[in-house]
Amino acid sequence: MRFSPISEARFARLLRYSIFLPVSLLAALASTLVWQVHGLLEAADRVDRSDLTIARANHCLRLLIDMETGLRGYLLTGNREFLEPYDRGSAAIESEWRLVQEAMIAREQIARVEGLIGATEDWRVYARRMIALRQGGALANGLEENREGKRLMDEIRRRTDELIRIGSTLRDERSDSAQRNARAVLVSAIGLSLLLGVVLAAAARAQLKHVTGSYGTALAELRSLTSTLEQKVEERTQALQQANEGLESFAYSVSHDLRAPLRAMQGFAHALREDYGDRLDDTGRDYADRISGAAERMDVLIHDLLEYSRLARVEMELRPVSLQSALEEAMEQMSERIRSKGATVTVEPPLPEVLGHRQTLVQVLANLVSNALKFTAPGVTPRVTVRAEELNGTVRVWVVDNGIGIEPDHFERIFRVFERLHGIDRYPGTGIGLAIVRKGVERMGGRAGVDSQSGEGSRFWFELAKV
């Protein structure tokens, strides 16, 4: 996979921006909202304080009216009981006005309360004087002096009304400002969220575009690599096929041409024994025998080689073949060897029909049974079993023996031409039998293999399509 360094750097930058930008926006959004909500809370607090001021001012006014009523009752009747609301109010009124002041923010309002405290004190001076006069009996009913009292109390009322009126205006202004604050918070939250959404979407889109682009490039490169690879494999396969075909035809013609001089050797060795046998001494006769034996072995070798190369070259038409009858024919060819070795060959039915080439199938079976009879330890009577099993539309044929077995390391090797695991004196052979088995099975569209443990017999198998 090949990515240009520029695109990787750009990708890293893109990644940084797409994280950095939304995070900073989120931070800005959060701090703006915190600041605005703080403002909103302050505005709400101001509204609350205005409400409290107005309520407390009203309370002071009520207290004063009670005091005035009590004073009047006393002045009229001289009964001290009437003075009770007056006494109670006197004890509390100044601190009540101070409470009004405490709830205030506007300086001019605080100054107005200060004025009210003064006016209240003026009225109380008047009230104390009147009480003293009444007590001294200087007043019959104290009402002639009351004009001054009315004037002082009217002044208090006027000032309190003014205080409450201005307080109400302030409260309305503060309430408006709080509402404006709330709206600003809402607008900012929505606006910034939208902005954040847009930035995130843009970042995601850019990322996606890059990733899709890279993916597309990688895919295109992969496709082109695959097609190059396929082309190369095709070329190699063709070259190999040609080389193989050349080799096979060379082997065929060489083997074929070797037969003529071989026949001559065999003929002359035979003539030597027949016509000049009495004139040869023992050594001469031994030499003649050896020439015959070697020529015979060479004949078998050439025969096998020709058989192998014929298998590779012949046009093979596949048709249903009875495994049972192919095996019977192979056993017929082996009958003399089976008898001479006292071997038993057990066939476990059923042996189904397979798709194959009859003559090749007979050859494959004959080679496997022949090996099973041959590769036994000295003194061991060969016991061979042939059976078949069906696996997903194929038939697997097993040829199992009680012979010397094969090490797993050699499982592949022994299927190659001339590969033998033993000396020719101990187990004679050409090393072509299993190569013929594999080539033949492959030409019939199947495969062949072996499963064995040294000393525990071998289990050769091949698979062909089931009919």
The residues of the shown chain that bind ligand ADP, judged by CB under 6 A, are 371-372, 375, 401, 403-404, 406, 414, 419-422, 429-435, 458
Question: Crossing angle of helices 107-135/84-102, nearest 10°?
Answer: 170
- CB of residue 458 to ligand ADP, shortest distance in Å: 4
Least gap, CB of 288 to ligand ADP (angstroms): 26
Closer to ligand ADP at the Cβ: 18 or 452? 452
Judged by beta carbon, residue 117 or residue 330, the one nearer ligand ADP is: 330
How many CB atoms are closer than 10 A to CB 218?
Answer: 13
Instruction: Decide whether 63 or 432 has the Cβ nearer to ligand ADP.
Output: 432
- 270 or 337, CB closer to ligand ADP? 337
| Smallest distance, ligand ADP to C-beta of residue 447, A | 17
What is the gyration radius of the CA atoms in the chain, in angstroms?
Answer: 61
CA distances to 2, 6, 9 from 218, rounded to whole Å, are 7, 15, 17
By beta-carbon proximity to ligand ADP, the closer residue of 83 and 362 is: 362
Minimum CB distance to ligand ADP, residue 404 (Å):
5
CB of 435 to ligand ADP, least distance (A): 6
> How far is Cα 141 from Cα 72, in angstroms, rounded to an integer?
9
Q: Is the peptide bond before 350 cis (omega within 30 degrees of 0)?
A: yes
* Residue with smaller CB distance to ligand ADP, 285 or 420: 420
CB of 215 to ligand ADP, least distance (A): 52
* DSSP at 421: S
CB of 352 or CB of 429, closer to ligand ADP: 429
- Of residues 89 and 433, the one with the C-beta less far from ligand ADP: 433
Pair type for strands 353-356 and 319-322: antiparallel
- Give the residue among 457, 454, 459, 460 at the shortest CA–CA distance from 436: 460
Q: Is 441 helix (H, G, I), strand (E, B) or coil?
A: helix
Cβ-Cβ contacts under 8 Å for 389 (sequence gap 6 or more): 395, 396, 398
Which residue's CB atom is positioned nearest to ligand ADP? Answer: 429
- Contact by Cβ (8 Å): 18, 207: yes
- The two beta strands, 353-356 and 458-465, are unpaired
Given the structure tokens 């600003």, which residue do they identify?
184
Question: CA–CA distance from 285 to each of 271, 274, 277 (Å)?
Answer: 12, 10, 7
Query: Residue 312 Cβ, how far from ligand ADP at the closest point, in Å?
Result: 16
